[in-house]
A and B are shown apart, each in its own frame.
Chain A
Amino acid sequence: MNPVYTLTKGMLPVETIYCPGCTHGISHRIIMEVLEEVDMLGKTIGCGPIGCSVLAHRYMNVDMLECPHGRAPAVASAIKRVHPDNFVFTYQGDGDLASIGTAEIIHAAARGEKITTFFINNAIYGMTGGQMAPTTLIGQKSTTSQSGRTVEQAGAPMRICELIANLDGAVYVERVALNTAGNISKAKRAVRRAYDIQEKRLGFSLIEFVSSCPTHWGKSPVESMQHLKEKMLPYYPLGVYKEPEGGEV
Chain B
Amino acid sequence: MSKKVLMKGNEAFAEAAIRGGCRYYFGYPITPQNEIPEYMSRELPKRDGYFIQAESELAAVYMAYGAGAAGGKVFITSSSPGIALMQEGFSFMCSAEVPTVALTVSRCGPGIGGIQPGQADYFQATRGGGNGDYKVPVFAPSNLQEGVDLVYESMDLTDKWRNPVFIFADGLLGQMMEPVVLPEQQKFVEPHEIRALKPWALTGYGDDDTKRNTIISLRIQPEDLEKHVEKIFKKYEQMEKELVRVETTGIEDADVVIVAFGTMARITKEAVEILAEQGIKTGLIRPISLWPFPYQAFDKITSKTKVVISAELSMGQMIQDVKLGVNGRFPVRLLSRTGGVVPASLEIAERTKKILEEMGG
Listed in ascending order, the chain A residues whose CB lies under 8 Å from chain B are: 9, 41-45, 47, 54-55, 57-58, 61-68, 71, 74-79, 81-86, 103-104, 106-107, 111
Which residue of A is nearest B92, CB measured? A68
User: Which chain B positions have C-beta within 8 A of A57?
Assistant: 214, 216
Task: Output the least CB separation between B18 and chain A (Å).
Answer: 15
Question: Given A66-B217, A82-B71, 12 other A-B contacts at CB below 8 A?
Answer: A43-B206, A45-B203, A58-B214, A62-B205, A68-B62, A74-B54, A74-B55, A75-B62, A79-B69, A82-B67, A82-B194, A86-B203
Q: Contact check, B65 vs A75: say whether CB atoms are below 8 A apart.
A: yes
Task: Output the least CB separation between B54 and chain A (Å).
Answer: 7
Task: Output the least CB separation between A13 and chain B (Å).
Answer: 12
Query: How many A-B contacts at CB < 8 Å in the complex?
Result: 129
A103 contact from B55, B194, B204, Cβ within 8 A: B55
B residues contacting the other copy or chain, number (CB 8 A): 42
Distance in angstroms between the alpha carbons of A84 and B92 in the assembled complex: 24
CB-CB contacts of B29-72 with A at 8 A, as 1s and 0s?
00000000000000000000010101110111011111101111
**Does residue B24 face the partner (Cβ distance < 8 Å to A)?**
yes
User: Which chain A positions have C-beta within 8 A of B194?
Assistant: 82
Which residue of B is nearest A58, CB measured? B214
Known pairs A63-B213, A103-B59; A45 contacts B52 (CB<8 A):
no
Distance in angstroms between the alpha carbons of A103 and B28 in the assembled complex: 14
Known pairs A71-B58, A104-B59; A44 contacts B204 (CB<8 A):
yes
Q: Contact check, A41 vs B202: say whether CB atoms are below 8 A apart.
A: no
User: Which chain B positions have C-beta within 8 A of A79?
Assistant: 66-67, 69-70, 202
**Does residue B359 face the partner (Cβ distance < 8 Å to A)?**
no
Distance in angstroms between the alpha carbons of A141 and B4 in the assembled complex: 68
Q: Contact check, A67 vs B55: say whether CB atoms are below 8 A apart.
A: no
Task: Output the least CB separation between B32 and chain A (Å).
Answer: 24
Task: Output the least CB separation between B104 and chain A (Å).
Answer: 20
**Can you name 26 A-B residue pairings with CB atoms under 8 Å?**
A42-B206, A42-B207, A43-B206, A44-B204, A45-B202, A47-B66, A57-B214, A61-B209, A62-B204, A62-B205, A62-B212, A63-B205, A66-B217, A68-B89, A68-B217, A74-B58, A74-B62, A75-B66, A76-B66, A77-B66, A78-B67, A79-B70, A79-B202, A81-B24, A81-B52, A82-B70
